[in-house]
Chains A and B, each alone.
Chain A
Amino acid sequence: MRGARTRGAPITGTVRAVLWVAFGLFFLFPLYAMADFSTRDLIAGGRTLQAWTNLVTDDALYQAIVISLLLAAFTVAAMLVILVPTMIWVRLRAPWARGMVEFLCLLPLTIPALVIVVGLRNVYLWVTYFLGESALTLTFVYVVLVLPFAYRAIDASLSSIDMQTLAEAARSLGAGWATTILRVLVPNIWPGILSAAFISIAVVLGEYTIASLSGYQTLQVQIVAIGKSDGPTSVAASLAVLLFGFALLLVLSLVTRGRHAADETSTNPSGVERVVA
């Protein structure tokens, strides 16, 4: 990678070291504090893992974890089924729609989740009318939330292959569209699909705004609810989610290592510029 390498004067070395330590303290100390706080025994003193065992033994929290994991899986599946064929089709057969699809995919960056949830009430009256009252109906709106992230990840992969040639070769050998997409194109954009899936999982597990204001008990909603009476358990669950997200993105950056050196995904595993926290 082209780096503006600044070496030489020993004074810079000292400044750099001091800055690294300062940033390290600011960012790592709260994480350490979470680990410390969640293992403290407030009554008897000393250490306890009670807060961490609560993650599986507390019924409400465990249910919420299951729901959030299911939501993550459903969102990834729906996102891939909807987005991948659309993006391939737009590049191969309907180039006139490419600008529009990109615009729509990136639109959620400009429209905050909070705005969506305010306008969502009428839509959800219909959704619950047809599909019933279940937290899993959040899948649809989560697909929209992850669109910008998933679009950029898949778009980077699609740009790196000669899709026209691959598709023509497959089609001229007699493959239908489904075979062409599933058995020829998808294996070639595997890294992009993996990135899109990982980032979508992280987004769904961290989502609070829409779930809480629609009244569904997902993991994050439950963390806040428990926090009012049992701080350590909430802190333990929060730290678990952060560490899980960190592990996902770190694995992703190792898996996609060395693919385009100048590619955005190499420095920014999510390939994203912004999300509303």
Chain B
Amino acid sequence: MPVSTLSRRVRETLPLLPFLAVVLIFLVIPTVTVIVNAFRDDGADGAASLARIGALFSPAALAALAKSVLLSGSTAIIGAVLGAVLGWLIVSSPSTSMVRRAVISLCSVLAQFGGVALAFAFLATVGLNGVLTLWVQQALGWNLAASGWLYSLTGLILVYTYFQIPLMVIVFVPALEGLRAQWREAAVSLGASRWQYFREVAVPLLAPAFLGSALLLFANAFAAYATAAALVSQGSPIVPLLIRSALTSEVVLGQSGFAYALALEMIVVVAAVMVAYNILVRRTARWLR
């Protein structure tokens, strides 16, 4: 490369340095730290070792992984189906209406910024002294909060759907809006019934977006931490909570090393799902213009 081109490149790069430095220090280095340390042993010199990776296959870690997959998978399916229905309701209402704006804003808040607050929402509803619990107790004499199911996997599934459905609405509404009225008119004018239009036109067009969104929901639930951490204060039934106990327990030496391996497991699962998601989104982008 000639010197003048090189010096121009350098001058062009300089203004990017603050941005690159922040991303490098606070995103790239932590990620690399996790990956490297997952393959070290607990000794002071940190020699290369597969001990921490091996610990991922211990019964406790495998059980947490299985529960995490069950939680993410079930809430992704429930969220995707119900979210698609709610998305259809929203799209077929007038786009300028205040109701629609309010619903979309509420969905954004619940899907993306809820976290801890959602755990408390359900504690206030079906917790020990929850509003619904007391109503049902007075009216029917049942104790809704009995057996503490809210703090188990069942409870997590319920609370997670409360942010998964809104997330589905947010990612799926653009695809629904991309379905043009002309396509339906064309199908109808060629003699298709509503059901035929739905089955032959809408479903094939929306299928990649629907599957992609479901994958996104899976990754979102798998990596979610705040809601579960606020709800389940002891024990670690799922991977994110296992990471918490590995990070915070000072009793068992070498536990914090295990957190690196668990975090790597999370990177691998989420990255694999996101790659599949990107492939599906690219297929959708072909007609979503």
A82 in contact with B223 given A111-B267, A246-B106 (CB within 8 Å): no
A250 at the interface (CB under 8 A from B): yes
| Bound: A3/B30 CA distance, A | 44
B110 at the interface (CB under 8 A from A): yes
Residues in B neighbouring A207, C-beta threshold 8 A: 115
A253 in contact with B130 given A82-B19, A115-B266 (CB within 8 Å): no
Interface-facing stretch out of A54-62, A63-71, A155-163, A269-277: A269-277
Residues in A neighbouring B81, C-beta threshold 8 A: none
Instruction: Mark A1-41 against chain B: 1 for CB-CB distance below 8 A, else 0.
Output: 11111110000000010011001001101111110111000
Inter-chain contact A274/B167, CB cutoff 8 Å: yes
B121 at the interface (CB under 8 A from A): yes
Instruction: Mark B233-264 against chain A: 1 for CB-CB distance below 8 A, else 0.
Output: 10000001001100110000000000110110
- Give the contacting residue for B101; candidates A144, A203, A245, A250; CB below 8 A: A250
Inter-chain contact A86/B30, CB cutoff 8 Å: no
Total B residues in contact with A, Cβ cutoff 8 Å: 98
A218 to chain B, nearest CB (A): 11
| Bound: A33/B226 CA distance, A | 21
B271 at the interface (CB under 8 A from A): yes
A276 in contact with B113 given A2-B180, A93-B12 (CB within 8 Å): no
Inter-chain contact B124/A212, CB cutoff 8 Å: no
Inter-chain contact A123/B29, CB cutoff 8 Å: yes
A196 at the interface (CB under 8 A from B): no
Instruction: Mark B116-151 against chain A: 1 for CB-CB distance below 8 A, else 0.
Output: 111011111101011110000000000000000000
A263 to chain B, nearest CB (A): 10
A213 at the interface (CB under 8 A from B): yes
Main SS at interface, chain A: helix
CB contact list, A167-216 vs B, under 8 A: 202-203, 205-209, 212-213
A209: nearest chain-B partner, CB-CB: B225
Inter-chain contact B26/A274, CB cutoff 8 Å: no
Inter-chain contact A112/B27, CB cutoff 8 Å: no
B230 at the interface (CB under 8 A from A): yes
Inter-chain contact B243/A110, CB cutoff 8 Å: no
Inter-chain contact A5/B181, CB cutoff 8 Å: yes
| Bound: A181/B259 CA distance, A | 44
- Give the contacting residue for B229; candidates A110, A208, A246; CB below 8 A: A208
Residues in B neighbouring A166, C-beta threshold 8 A: none
Interface size class, chain A? 35 or more
A-B contact count (CB 8 A): 303
| Bound: A216/B35 CA distance, A | 25
A37 in contact with B115 given A3-B91, A118-B260, A213-B244 (CB within 8 Å): no
| Bound: A122/B256 CA distance, A | 13
Instruction: Mark B16-38 against chain A: 1 for CB-CB distance below 8 A, else 0.
Output: 10111011011101111110010
| Bound: A228/B231 CA distance, A | 11
B184 at the interface (CB under 8 A from A): yes
A266: nearest chain-B partner, CB-CB: B95
CB contact list, A59-102 vs B, under 8 A: 81-83, 85-86, 89-90, 93-94, 97, 101
A276 in contact with B223 given A114-B243, A123-B30, A238-B120 (CB within 8 Å): yes
| Bound: A34/B124 CA distance, A | 5
CB contact list, A197-252 vs B, under 8 A: 202-203, 205-209, 212-213, 220, 223-224, 227-228, 231, 234-235, 238-239, 241-242, 245-246, 249-250, 252
Nearest first, the 4 A-B pairs at minimum CB distance are: A119-B30, A112-B223, A37-B124, A238-B117
Some 19 contacts from A to B, beta carbons below 8 A apart, are: A4-B202, A7-B92, A29-B125, A85-B15, A101-B16, A104-B27, A114-B266, A115-B267, A140-B25, A143-B26, A203-B112, A206-B116, A231-B124, A238-B116, A238-B120, A242-B121, A245-B113, A249-B108, A277-B224
Interface of A toward B, CB cutoff 8 Å: 1-7, 16, 19-20, 23, 26-27, 29-34, 36-38, 42, 81-83, 85-86, 89-90, 93-94, 97, 101, 104, 107-123, 140-141, 143-144, 147, 202-203, 205-209, 212-213, 220, 223-224, 227-228, 231, 234-235, 238-239, 241-242, 245-246, 249-250, 252-254, 257, 262, 264, 267-270, 272-277
Interface of B toward A, CB cutoff 8 Å: 12-13, 15-16, 18-20, 22-23, 25-27, 29-34, 37, 82, 85-86, 88-89, 91-92, 95-96, 101-102, 104-106, 108-118, 120-125, 127, 129-132, 162-163, 165-167, 170-171, 173-174, 176-181, 184, 194, 202, 216, 219-220, 223-227, 229-230, 233, 240, 243-244, 247-248, 259-260, 262-263, 266-267, 270-271, 274
- 15 A-B pairs besides A122-B33, A224-B116, A272-B170 with CB distance below 8 A are A2-B178, A3-B92, A4-B88, A23-B86, A93-B12, A94-B12, A108-B27, A114-B223, A120-B33, A220-B115, A252-B105, A268-B173, A275-B113, A277-B114, A277-B226
